[in-house]
């Protein structure tokens, strides 16, 4: 039941195709737009076959006005009996996947023998006109070479200085007939084929010739008379141009796809010869033909080849760049000792990438004649083949030759001289990399473990230090509170009572007693500040800069002053001994308190500067100032305490002040006196 919808669709498509009127000539088909041709328009045409190859699944049909390619479901084969000149009827559909619309999926019915149509005569400069695709034409040409290896026999022809390929179905005597046409002017009749890419853009032109009978040689273009015998290094010298027939003798060194390489005592040259396969390496030949211009060295296009004798191939030339320039080895059969690097497979050859000294090159082997040995990178090889010199410069001048290729005849041209050592660079690098990786893993694990142990030890040490310091400070604080402060308070009370007893010389006694009270009051304030500092962990945990920022504002507030406090830290802070930091903190508090109480300052600036050789604490105010040369009042002990604390920590004190000029106090410590480490906690004081 599920097959019925599919059957209906097929039936609908078939009825639609039957209802559509088929095209009956190729002119209409070739004129279809690409979109219309892609619709598979039915085509039914009668015409004459102008090209047919039994090995190909297609033919070229001429309907009397124009030609078109007709694609078939499968190759015709020898039994089809369809040759050039046959009348046939084809039925198929249009195809847009080509340079010009053509027919695909066609069926063929043979109607009988016919005659080839009159060929369209063209000139060489018309060969790339778009309307020439698949057209039956006639054009003057010169046969300059042959190529083998495909399903058809390929002639190389020259038309107006341009090189084209002409494919001819293989015949029993193709090589002989091609040899008779070498270097001859001919009248070529064939179909113009277009090579296009996936976007239907023209990328080249070639000819499809139905048989050698459609190549008519020019009888006037035959070598006659005495031809001069030259050495290979005399080709194309002085007045001997490409139109001058020449004759050379030499020994075959190696065969090529389109001929052979010939060598005499003066050098080597490639010879384009249709029947080159009849002359194995070692054959002595006499070749008549025309010299052709090629890069680095002329080539020879053979018209006649005469075998003089057979023998063994001459030994290859030793490839030695120290004695000869690279261009001197062009077209020579050479032997090269080299290092194998890589291998790549192509459609037409296998390439061996090799190196001789610092010169890299490729050696090419026919795909069906690849050596069985599986070469390794670094193997030492001896290669024997034809050297083809190359250049990366715009012109092939001898002094610009900077590379070469090697054409190898077969697997016998590749000899393994020495296997690469097992410990090559790649394995050494792999082993070194593996060892380095293991070493780095062990080193990283060791470093991580050591870091963790060190971190744990530091944590334990810090905890012990903090606990010890905490206990000691608490003990000292309790002792100061329970003994010293209470005793000083008692002394103050006794002095107060004494002031009421001594009535004689009351003025002098009052002064002494007042001074004693001031001293006791100052002493009590100092003790309270010390107790507060001992109980406060801020200096121990945060360091001097943070403690100053946190402690100075409350100290200033206790004076009930409206002065603004500014603090600045320059450089990278470093930890000092706990005693040093404690004294600096007390110095800063005392200086700020003095500026607020006695100088009536509006702005107080506190600066910490860390340099490479030490640090500086500076307290500046914009108050009323004083004369530093005058002794301080008896009841003022701030400056005295400041100098005493600075002396205890080995610091240098400088004081600048004047009436109405404010005051600047600068405390400088060098590193030897102050810095212990960059540790966040100080060592034992």
More confident call, 554 vs 165 = 165
CATH 2.40.50.140 matches 21-113: yes
Q: What is the pLDDT of residue 141?
A: 93
> What is the token pair recorded at 590?
């005392």
Q: What is the pLDDT of residue 500?
A: 59
Q: What is the pLDDT of residue 678?
A: 43
pLDDT band at 1 (very low <50, low <70, confident <90, very high): very low
CATH T-level topology, domain 120-217? OB fold (Dihydrolipoamide Acetyltransferase, E2P) (2.40.50)
Residue 502 CB coordination number (10 Å): 13
Contacts 24+ apart (CB under 8 A), 449-456: none
Please write the tens of the pLDDT for every residue from 47-91: 999 999 888 899 999 999 999 999 999 988 877 788 899 999 999
* pLDDT above 70: residue 354: yes
CATH T-level topology, domain 542-685? Heat Shock Protein 90 (3.30.565)
Please write the tens of the pLDDT for every residue from 182-202: 888 899 999 999 998 888 899
How many angstroms separate the CA atoms of 345 and 365, rounded? 10
Q: What's the average model confidence in pLDDT over 299-323?
A: 89
> What is the token pair recorded at 621?
């105010």
How many angstroms separate the CA atoms of 630 and 642, rounded? 17
- Residue whose structure tokens are 């097929």: 10
More confident call, 43 vs 242 = 43
* pLDDT above 80: residue 148: no
How many angstroms separate the CA atoms of 526 and 641, rounded? 10
| Spatial contact of 673 and 649, defined as CB atoms under 8 Å apart | yes
Q: What is the pLDDT of residue 133?
A: 93
pTM above 0.75, yes or no: no
Residues in the chain: 685
pLDDT band at 243 (very low <50, low <70, confident <90, very high): confident
* pLDDT above 60: residue 582: yes
Beta strands in 428-523 (DSSP E): none
How many angstroms separate the CA atoms of 584 and 504, rounded? 45
The number of C-alpha atoms within 13 Å of 435 and in the hemisphere containing its C-beta is 6
Q: What is the pLDDT of residue 116?
A: 93
Of 301, 415, 406, 319, residue with least CA distance to 362? 406
| Spatial contact of 655 and 620, defined as CB atoms under 8 Å apart | no
pLDDT band at 679 (very low <50, low <70, confident <90, very high): very low
CATH homologous superfamily of 317-416: Nucleic acid-binding proteins (2.40.50.140)
Sign, Cα dihedral of 39, 45, 48, 52: positive
> What is the token pair recorded at 510?
């009052």
Q: What's the average model confidence in pLDDT over 331-357?
A: 90
More confident call, 385 vs 10 = 385
Q: What's the average model confidence in pLDDT over 238-255?
A: 90
Q: How far is CA 215 from CA 185, 207, 234, 273, 390, in A?
A: 10, 12, 33, 18, 35
Confirm whether 21-113 and 542-685 share one CATH topology: no
How many angstroms separate the CA atoms of 547 and 186, rounded? 108
Burial group, residue 161, by CB count within 10 angstroms (0-12, 13-18, 19+): exposed
For the chain, which residues make up each domain, given as ranges?
A: 21-113, 120-217, 229-309, 317-416, 421-535, 542-685
Q: What is the pLDDT of residue 388?
A: 95
R_g over Cα of the chain = 54
Q: What is the pLDDT of residue 178?
A: 86
Q: What's the average model confidence in pLDDT over 128-133?
A: 91
* pLDDT above 90: residue 181: no
- Residue whose structure tokens are 């890299």: 360
Q: What's the average model confidence in pLDDT over 637-666?
A: 82
Strand partners for 336: 383
CATH homologous superfamily of 229-309: Nucleic acid-binding proteins (2.40.50.140)
Percentage of residues of the chain with pLDDT beyond 90: 37
Q: What is the DSSP string of 223-283?
A: --SPPPEE-GGGTT-TT--TTSEEEEEEEEEEEETTEEEEEETTEEEEEE-TTGGGS-TT-
Percentage of residues of the chain with pLDDT beyond 70: 81
Per mean pLDDT, which range of 107-121, 433-447, 622-636 is the poorest?
622-636
How many angstroms separate the CA atoms of 327 and 391, rounded? 10
Q: What is the pLDDT of residue 357?
A: 86
């Amino acid at each position: 039941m599920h097959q019925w919808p599919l059957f209906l669709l097929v039936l609908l498509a078939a009825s639609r195709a039957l209802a559509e009127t088929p095209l009956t000539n190729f002119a209409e088909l070739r004129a279809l737009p690409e979109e219309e041709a892609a619709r598979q328009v039915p085509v039914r045409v009668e015409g004459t076959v102008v090209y047919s190859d039994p090995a190909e699944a297609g033919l070229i049909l001429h309907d009397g006005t124009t030609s078109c390619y007709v694609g078939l479901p499968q190759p015709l084969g020898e039994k089809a009996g369809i040759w050039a000149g046959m009348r046939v009827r084809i039925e198929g559909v249009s195809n847009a996947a080509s340079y010009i619309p053509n027919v695909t999926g066609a069926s063929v019915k043979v109607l009988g023998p016919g005659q080839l149509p009159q060929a369209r005569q063209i000139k060489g400069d018309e060969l790339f006109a778009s309307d020439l695709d698949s057209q039956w034409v006639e054009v003057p040409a010169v046969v300059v070479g042959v190529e083998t290896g495909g399903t058809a026999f390929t002639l190389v022809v020259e038309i107006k200085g341009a090189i084209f390929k002409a494919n001819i179905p293989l015949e029993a005597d193709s090589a002989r007939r091609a040899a008779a046409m070498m270097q001859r002017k001919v009248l070529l009749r064939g179909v113009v084929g277009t090579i296009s890419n996936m976007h239907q853009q023209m990328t080249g032109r070639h000819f499809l010739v139905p048989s050698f009978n459609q190549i008519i040689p020019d009888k006037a273009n035959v070598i006659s008379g005495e031809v001069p015998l030259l050495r290979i290094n005399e080709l194309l010298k002085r007045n001997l141009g490409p139109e001058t027939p020449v004759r050379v003798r030499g020994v075959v060194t190696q065969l090529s796809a389109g001929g052979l390489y010939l060598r005499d005592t003066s050098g080597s040259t490639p010879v384009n010869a249709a029947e080159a396969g009849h002359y194995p390496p070692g054959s002595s030949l006499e070749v008549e033909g025309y010299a052709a211009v090629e890069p680095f060295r002329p080539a020879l296009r053979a018209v006649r080849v005469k075998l003089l004798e057979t023998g063994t191939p001459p030994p290859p030339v030793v490839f030695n760049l120290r004695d000869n320039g690279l261009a001197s080895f062009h077209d020579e059969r050479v032997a090269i000792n080299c290092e194998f690097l890589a291998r790549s497979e192509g459609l037409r050859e296998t390439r061996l990438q090799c190196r001789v000294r610092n010169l890299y090159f490729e050696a090419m082997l026919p795909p069906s004649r690849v050596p069985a040995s599986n070469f390794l990178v670094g193997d030492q090889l001896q290669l024997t083949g034809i050297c083809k010199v190359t250049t990366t410069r715009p012109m092939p001048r001898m002094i610009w030759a900077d590379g070469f290729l090697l054409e190898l005849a077969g697997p016998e041209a590749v000899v393994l001289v020495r296997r690469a050592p097992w410990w090559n660079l790649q394995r050494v690098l792999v082993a070194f990399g593996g060892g380095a990786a293991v070493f780095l893993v062990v080193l990283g694990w060791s470093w991580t473990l050591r870091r963790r142990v060190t971190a744990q030890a530091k944590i334990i040490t810090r905890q012990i230090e903090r606990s010890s310091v905490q206990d000691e400070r608490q003990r000292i604080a309790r002792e100061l509170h329970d003994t010293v402060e209470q005793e000083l308070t008692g002394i103050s009370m006794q002095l107060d009572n004494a002031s009421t007893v001594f009535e004689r010389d009351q003025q002098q006694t009052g002064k002494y007693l007042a001074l004693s009270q001031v001293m006791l009051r100052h002493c009590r304030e100092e003790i309270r500040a010390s107790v507060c500092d001992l109980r406060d962990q801020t200096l121990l945990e945060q360091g001097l800069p943070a403690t100053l920022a946190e402690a100075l504002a409350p100290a200033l507030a206790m004076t009930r002053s409206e002065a603004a406090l500014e603090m600045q830290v320059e450089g990278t802070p470093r930890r000092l001994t706990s005693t040093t930091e404690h004294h600096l903190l007390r110095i800063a508090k005392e200086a700020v308190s003095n500026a607020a109480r006695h100088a009536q300052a509006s702005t107080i600036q506190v600066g910490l500067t860390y340099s490479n050789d030490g640090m500086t604490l500076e307290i500046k105010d914009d108050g009323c100032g004083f004369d530093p040369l005058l002794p301080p009042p008896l009841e003022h002990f701030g400056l005295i305490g400041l100098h005493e604390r600075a002396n205890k920590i080995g610091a240098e004190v400088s004081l600048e002040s004047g009436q109405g000029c404010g005051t600047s106090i600068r405390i400088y410590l060098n590193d030897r006196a102050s810095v212990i480490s960059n540790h966040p906690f100080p060592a034992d004081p």
